[in-house]
Amino acid sequence: VLLCILATFAVVTLAWYIRDSLKVDSITEKFVLVTGCDSGFGNLLAHQLDQKGFHVIATCLTEKGCMDLKAETSWRLKAVLLNVTDSSSIDSTVIPVSNTLSHAGLWGLVNNAGRSIPVGPSEWMQMEDFRNILNVNLFGLIELTLKLLPLLKKARGRVVNVSSVMGRLVLTGGGYCVSKWAVESFSDSLRRDMRHFGVKVSIIEPGFFKTAVTNVNLIDADLRRLWDQLHIDVKETYGEKYLQNCESFCCQINSTRDDISKVTHCMEHALTARHPRSRYTAGWDARLIWLPISYLPSFMADFIVYNSSIPKIAMISWRDL
């Protein structure tokens, strides 16, 4: 019986591996639009897809980001300015893309653009602090996706939305986790809606990696801004010790891993695999610590996150498994 179980497990594992390894054809004829390519995941993915032979439409928030990408990549990559919080900016990107790809359609959309600050206790926030994050991480993502869906349906293409492990387990207050949980929900509903049209939707859930989003100096400075604008009565209820603990969490983020290719390889697989996965978890900390904790009863997860040294251990820059 044990041998039969082991043999069955081996056959299933081999079949899954073979299925997971199958790739799509005609990559050099496919167009992919990637947002947030100034730096980090988006920048590296744009380089990877360009080297693979894709026609890449890389959107950046700054002129410098566009110029740097153009200088470092082939003629197949087109860098354009895009502010996902501005509907007119989205239209100025979508309309030319629609005119160019009206017959072939768009193979891939990678919604990577995002921001993290302000991060901190929710009571320290103003409504504008929540809106600033949600406008980028959620509403901009939804608007761009909806406007490109006709092209994606025509190509029976892919939507790849970058969420976070904090879209499964809340580790801090503010709008970041709120936005990522919403991205998870939107992506799940879109995946089921688009199944009828052959469009596949994947979610990327990275652990902690060193990018502009996890820039400890920016996070710490913004945390101080939130603290300084609090009413004196509210400050007294928290105390300086609470602020120091928040700043300590920011310092731990600074110990995150530099090898962001673990994330971009997941994105690339979602675009090139014949059978992309619904979810990709990048980083050993996400796979072995954060996601398992998220499945625990709430009181156990709260105790571990609040009292345990596991969050600190998880952010040490060990080699990924």
CA distance 143 to 240: 41
Tokens of 207: 């652990």
Report residue 264 CA to chain centroid gap: 10
For the chain, percent helix, then strand, then coil, each to nearest 5? 60, 10, 25
Q: Per this entry, what is the length of the chain?
A: 321
Active site residue 242: no
Give the residue from 145, 131, 115, 110 showing the smallest Cα distance to 34.
110
Cis peptide before 96 (omega within 30 of 0): no
Place of tokens 């690339």: 268
Selecting among 17, 176, 238, 280, the annotated active-site residue is 176
CA distance 163 to 169: 12
CB distance 199 to 159 below 8 Å:
yes
Kindly list the catalytic residues. Answer: 176
